[in-house]
Amino acid sequence: LVLAESELETVPREITGHRQVVASARRSGKNASRMILDASQHHAAMRRLPDGARRGRPDLVHLFLLTAMESRAAKRGQVRVAVHTRNDDWIEIDPTTRLIRNYVRFCGLIEKLFETGAVPAETPLLTRTAKRPLLPALDAMEADRLIWLDETAPRRRPAELFAKDDLDRHVVAVIGGFPHGQFQTGAPKTAERVSLWAETLPTWTVAAELTVHYGALGDDA
Ligand SMILES: C[S@@+](CC[C@H](N)C(=O)[O-])C[C@H]1O[C@@H](n2cnc3c(N)ncnc32)[C@H](O)[C@@H]1O
């Protein structure tokens, strides 16, 4: 599962001096430019940023990761997860990771990851590669099936999306990690563009649909 164009970044330089950002850095005892941008704390400062209304959503990434990594399919070892960000950072998470459930501590972990490139230092479970744009990264995955989740695409029933053969195939599904608007990148020509429902669903609900139905293939395997 790839969470694409997710709104995960450190506070951009343009707003590190904004009083709301300075105050939140002081409260948490952190350097402003190393903090994760969070719309719930930095909303006034973010009005100055391009795309300010959709940025700063580490909560979406956290909920997505918890949903995907704690699914039955993940516990059977059938799921790997990667997060691509608006700045083309590429984060891989070792499937054995027991992800932190507390949101504040999760943000602290991601801040450390942005600083050092790998956490925890002794045995890295999360690794970050900078400047890894989405399409070449997907290409390098050499998927047998590439599914691009998009509410504007042709409708498919979630329960009919996967066939038994998919258990032995490398299936990559791409979900948008942003709260509003559309992908900035167009889907590759080889992708199956799929809508699961007539309305927009949150990122983690889409991850839940995919992991439940993919996981069900393994029930009597
Ligand atoms: C919250 S949505 C993105 C914002 C949404 N386009 C909007 O304008 O409200 C997050 C992602 O979940 C996936 N998604 C949401 N609803 C979907 C649906 N009905 N079918 C398939 N994928 C969906 C897409 O990948 C989408 O980019």
pLDDT per residue as tens digits for the range 119-133: 999 999 999 999 999
pLDDT greater than 70 at residue 1: yes
CA of 10 to the centre of ligand 1 (A): 24
Q: For position 219, what pLDDT does the model report?
A: 86
Pocket test for ligand 1, best of 6, 206, 213 (most atoms within 8 A of CB): 206
Between CA 214 and CA 170 the distance in angstroms is 12
Structure-token pair, residue 179: 């709260």
Q: How far is CA 151 from CA 24, 125, 157, 175, 197, in A?
A: 36, 32, 13, 10, 7
Measured from the CA of 178, which atom of ligand 1 is nearest?
A: 3
Measured from the CA of 174, which atom of ligand 1 is nearest?
A: 25
Average pLDDT over residues 150-154: 97
Q: For position 177, what pLDDT does the model report?
A: 98
The mean pLDDT value of the chain amounts to 96
Among the residues of the chain, which ranges form H helices? 19-28, 39-46, 58-69, 72-75, 103-116, 134-140, 203-217
pLDDT greater than 70 at residue 221: no
Q: For position 220, what pLDDT does the model report?
A: 72
Per-residue pLDDT band for 51 (boundaries 50, 70, 90) equals very high
Tokens 């973010």, residue located:
46
pTM summary value: 0.97
CA of 44 to the centre of ligand 1 (A): 26
Q: How far is CA 114 from CA 25, 64, 108, in A?
A: 16, 19, 10
Residues in contact with ligand 1 by the CB-under-6-Å rule are 149-151, 175-176, 178-182, 195-197, 199-203, 206
Per-residue pLDDT band for 183 (boundaries 50, 70, 90) equals very high
Q: What is the pLDDT of residues 55-99, one digit of tens each?
A: 999 999 999 999 999 999 999 999 999 999 999 999 999 999 999
Measured from the CA of 201, which atom of ligand 1 is nearest?
A: 16
pLDDT greater than 90 at residue 114: yes
Q: For position 15, what pLDDT does the model report?
A: 97
Sheet containing 90-93: order of strands = 118-119, 126-129, 90-93, 81-85, 2-6, 171-176, 145-149, 192-194
CA of 17 to the centre of ligand 1 (A): 33
pLDDT greater than 90 at residue 150: yes
